[in-house]
Amino acid sequence: MKGTVLVAGFATRHVVRSARNAGYRVYAIDHFCDRDLSWYADICRPFEELEDLPALIASFCRDHPVDHLVLTSGAEELGDRFPLAGTPKDRVARFLDKAAIQEYFEEEQIAVPPIAAEGAFPYMIKPRRGAGGWRNQVVRSPAAQQAWEELFPGTPYIRQELVAGIACSVSCVANGTAARAVAVNEQLLRGPGEREFGFAGAITPFDHPGVPEMIRIAEHAAGASGCIGSVGVDFVLGDRIWAIEINPRFQATLDTVEMATGMNIFDLHINACRGVLPPCTPPARRGYAARAIVFADRDMTVRDDLSALSPAVSDIPWPGTAIEEGGAVASAYGWGASREDACAMLDKTITRVCGYMSRW
C-alpha cells in the first residue's frame, strides 16, 4: 500500500474507488455509505449533517493513522487541522462563493455571464453557496423570484444574465501556480422541472471545435486560482465560451474521465499536491464513457441488491433504503468506441435499473 487516505464529504464513493485503485488503503466518512462504497473503503462512517463532520474527522484521525485527508463536496473548508491533500482552507473559500467566483473570472478577463440588474427579467438565480446546480432557476417575473426566495428563505444569491449553449466542463489538476487539463466533459442536466439545472451525469470526452480554447481558458483559470489537486472548470459553450464555476475538489465527472482515458485521477491529484503536473500533451483517449444518475419517479423503498449490475451501475443503495421522489437511486454507465456506442449502452443500463425500480 502507498499509504492511508481518509475521504470525507457528502458523497465520496467516486474518490474512494480511485484512491483504492491507485494502491492506497482508504477510509470514508460519507452521508450515504452506499453498498459499493464498502467494497473500496476499509472503514465507512456515516454522518447526517455536515456540521457533524469536523468532530468525526478529528475523532477518526486520532484513532487511525491517516497520511492524506481528501475532502469532497460539503467538506471543502475543513482541512485546516488535518493532513490535507488538496486546496487549503484559506484559498478554497473564494471558490465556494459564486459571487467571488464571478469577481475572479472578471479579474482574470474570462468571459462570464454578466450580473443582471434587479428586475431585468429573465435571469438566472443561483445560490451563492452549494454544489450540483439543483437550486439554480430561471426567473421571469417578480412573482417567480418571490417564489424562489420563499422556497429557500434567507439564502444569499446572485443574478446572472441568461446565456444559451451546451453545459460542459474541463477536468484539471493544479499545483497552486499552474494547471493541466486531463479531460473535457459534456454535462447532462436534469431538464424541465423544479431541478432543471441539477447535475445528472456526463459524457467523456466532449468533441467540439471549441474544446482547445476551453482547455486554454480552464488551465489559466485553474492555474491562477491557487487551487491544488483536482480542479474542475464549468462552462456553457454557445455563441461564445462562458465560464460558469470553478470547483476546487474532485468532480462528479471523475468516473467517466477515468473510464474514457484510462488514467487514475487520484494519482494525478496526489502528484499535483506534491507540485508535479502531467506532461503538457493532449489527454489520452481510449474510448467514450457516459454516466447518468437515475432518479426516483415516486417515493420508494429499495427491495433488491443491484450489486450484480456492477460495473455498469454504481452508488448502489442498500436494500431497505427509503428514497423520496426526485432522489438519486443509483448511477448508470455506458462505454464504447464512440459516443453513440456509449450512450446506447447507457440507455440499456438505465432500462435494467428502471426494471428493478418498477417493482419497488
What domains lie within the chain, and their CATH numbers?
4-85 (3.40.50.20), 100-160 (no CATH), 163-273 (3.30.470.20), 288-357 (no CATH)
Instruction: Report the C-alpha gap between 105 and 39 in whole angstroms.
Output: 40
Look up residue 242 and give its amino acid.
W
Place of cell 506532461: 279
pLDDT at 326: 94
Assess whether the previous peptide bond of 205 is cis (omega < 30° from 0).
yes
Cell numbers representing residue 104 in the block: 475572479
In tens digits, what is the pLDDT along the chain, a chain of 360 residues? 799 999 999 999 999 999 999 999 999 999 999 999 999 999 999 999 988 998 999 999 999 999 999 999 888 888 766 789 999 988 999 999 999 999 999 999 999 999 999 999 999 999 999 888 889 999 999 999 999 999 999 999 999 999 999 999 999 999 999 999 999 999 999 988 778 899 999 999 999 999 999 999 999 999 999 999 999 999 999 999 999 999 999 999 999 999 999 999 999 999 999 999 998 766 667 899 999 999 999 999 999 999 999 999 999 999 999 999 999 999 999 999 999 999 999 999 999 999 999 999
Burial grade of 233 (CB within 10 A; 0-12, 13-18, 19 or more): buried
- The Cβ of residue 157 has, within 10 Å, a number of other Cβ atoms equal to 21
* Sequence letter at residue 82: F
Nearest residue to 193 via CA among 263, 235, 254, 136: 136
Residue 64 phi, psi (nearest 5)? -135, 140
pLDDT of residue 282: 65
Distant-in-sequence, close-in-space partners of 136: CB < 8 Å, separation ≥ 6? 124, 125, 126, 127, 196, 197, 198
Task: Identify the pLDDT of residue 181.
Answer: 96
**Residue 95, all three cell numbers:** 471558490
Pairing of strands 322-323, 137-139: unpaired
Peptide bond between residue 311 and the one before it cis (omega within 30 degrees of 0): yes
CA distance 1 to 189: 38
pTM for the complete prediction? 0.95
Q: Sheet containing 199-204: which strands, arranged edge to edge?
A: 241-247, 228-237, 166-175, 179-189, 199-204, 288-295, 328-336, 313-314
User: What's the rounded Cα separation, in Å, for the pair 175 and 277?
Assistant: 7
102 and 115 Cβ atoms separated by less than 8 Å: yes
**Type of residue numbered 300:** M
Look at strands 68-71 and 4-9 and give their pairing: parallel
CA atoms within 13 A on the CB side of 310: 12
